[in-house]
Amino acid sequence: MAALFGTRVRRLRTAAGLTQAELGDRVHVVSTRITQIERASGAKPTLELARALDAALGADNLLVELWPYVYREAFPDWSRRFMEYSERAVVIREYAAHVVPGLLQTEDYARALLRVGRTLGSKEQLEERVALRMERQERLHRPDRPELWVVLDEAVLRRPVGGQAVMSEQLARLLGTTAEPHITVQVLPFDQGEHDVMGGSLTVLTMPDRSEIAYTEGAHYGQLIEDSDEVRSFALTYDRLRAAALPPLMSLDMIRSVMEDNHRGAKVPSRSERRRVAQEQLQQSGGRQLRGGGRRVPGRRPRP
């Protein structure tokens, strides 16, 4: 797809009678960047650059429409297929164990998460991924929007991704779903104990023909499930999680409580502060002290 994109850029540029340097000037990049795009070498174009090239070459959105496919080449086949299914699903049921699902993330929250991705190659690639994630959310506001039902583990609320300001904005976004009748959010509290999907996330998609597809994901893997019997089993698992979670109104109360509490976890003293206090207490007791690294060593005993 990157090669196809580059071929289209070269043909359009040639038809317009522009050199690579002249096109680069119009879209505010160096000529070598145009060379890389046309040869499908180097970093993939950002969405912003694809839009600029489209406008400069009068491509009538051809390059903009090609760009998502160029971007998805960085993902394995099963991931691309899941994204394609998601874009057509009429109902999306999702359980998230660790982070807010992409469809409900704020831009800063998404950026904080994507910044630590193992496959991230550059700041440019980071902004590409953030832009695509925000673009996917636009479907929630279109006439053909899906019904979205999300169950969040309590850990999702308690982990201040991106810092307190970013997390507060993200929690406010979750509270804002009350004004969106096609979105339901529930929280699965810690006191519910163990369950079948503790290691990762689970998504069940309902397609326009009412068939269903499931998708499970961990930190560094994903699995697309299309076998009807297996999908029914995962759908039942999801229904059990939904039944165990707090009702929607109580869930929103919990989200609000966490936001107003400003995340108690953030008030935990730093490691150095905890070490200092512990050392002072131990020295006052006259028994032991702490050295660097936290290893305890016997104190010198007074002679009788």
**How much is the average pLDDT of 38-49?**
76
The answer to whether residues 37 and 58 belong to one domain is yes
Between 289 and 14, where is the model more confident?
A: 14
Query: Tell me, what's the pLDDT at 288?
Result: 40
Domain boundary among 54, 72, 90: 72
**Three-state secondary structure call for residue 179:** helix
Same-domain pairing of 258 and 278: no
Exposure string of 41-76, with b = 16+ CB inside 10 Å and e = fewer, is eeebbbbebbbbbbebbebeebbeebbbebbbebee
Q: Is 36's pLDDT higher than 90?
A: no
Q: Among 19-28, 96-105, 188-197, which is the least confidently predicted range? A: 188-197
**Tally of structural domains, the chain:** 3
Of the residues 57, 72, 87, the one at which a domain ends: 72
Q: Does residue 295 sit in the same domain as residue 180?
A: no
Predicted pLDDT at 304: 46
pLDDT value for 37: 86
| pLDDT value at 207 more than 80 | yes
Q: What is the pLDDT, as a whole number, of residue 105?
A: 94
Cα separation, 106 vs 298, whole angstroms: 51
Contact assessment for residue 252 and residue 178, using Cβ atoms and an 8 Å cutoff = yes
- Give the range of the structural domain holding residue 123, as residue numbers without chain letter: 77-266
Range name among 11-15, 35-39, 99-103, 170-174 with the lowest pLDDT average: 35-39
Both 99 and 240 in a single domain? yes
Most confident of 2-6, 76-80, 99-103: 99-103
Whole-number Å distance between alpha carbons of 56 and 118: 34
27, pLDDT greater than 80: yes
Given a contact cutoff of 8 angstroms between Cβ atoms, the answer to whether 283 and 289 are in contact is yes
Can you tell me the distance from the alpha carbon of 7 to that of 110, in angstroms, rounded to the nearest whole number?
32
CATH code for the domain of 43: 1.10.260.40
- What is the spatial distance between Cα 277 and Cα 273, in angstroms, rounded to a whole number? 6
| Residue 154 binned pLDDT confidence (cut-offs 50, 70, 90) | very high
What's the whole-number mean pLDDT along residues 17-30?
Answer: 91
Beta bridge partners of 213: 205
Mean pLDDT of 3-20: 90
**Region of poorest pLDDT, from 57-66, 145-154, 255-264:** 255-264
One domain, residues 223 and 277: no
Whether residue 54 is found in the same domain as residue 183: no
Let me know whether 135 and 250 are in one domain.
yes
Residue 298 pLDDT exceeds 50: no
Label residue 265 by pLDDT band (50, 70, 90).
very low
Q: What is the pLDDT of residue 85?
A: 86
The verdict on 91 and 211 lying in the same domain is yes
Written as one string, the DSSP assignment of 220-288 is S-EEEE--HHHHHHHHHHHHHHHHHSPPHHHHHHHHHHHHHTT-GGGGSPPHHHHHHHHHHHHHHHTSE
Q: What Å distances lie between residue 65 and 76, 278, 303, CA to CA? A: 20, 59, 83
pTM for this predicted structure: 0.62
- pLDDT band for position 187 (cuts 50, 70, 90): very high
Mean pLDDT, residues 26-54 taken together: 83
Is the separation of the CB atoms in 202 and 149 below 8 Å? Answer: no
Do residues 118 and 250 both lie within one domain? Answer: yes
The one-letter amino acid code at 182 reads H
Residues 95 and 188 in one domain: yes
User: Are the C-beta atoms of residues 122 and 43 closer than 8 Å to each other?
Assistant: yes
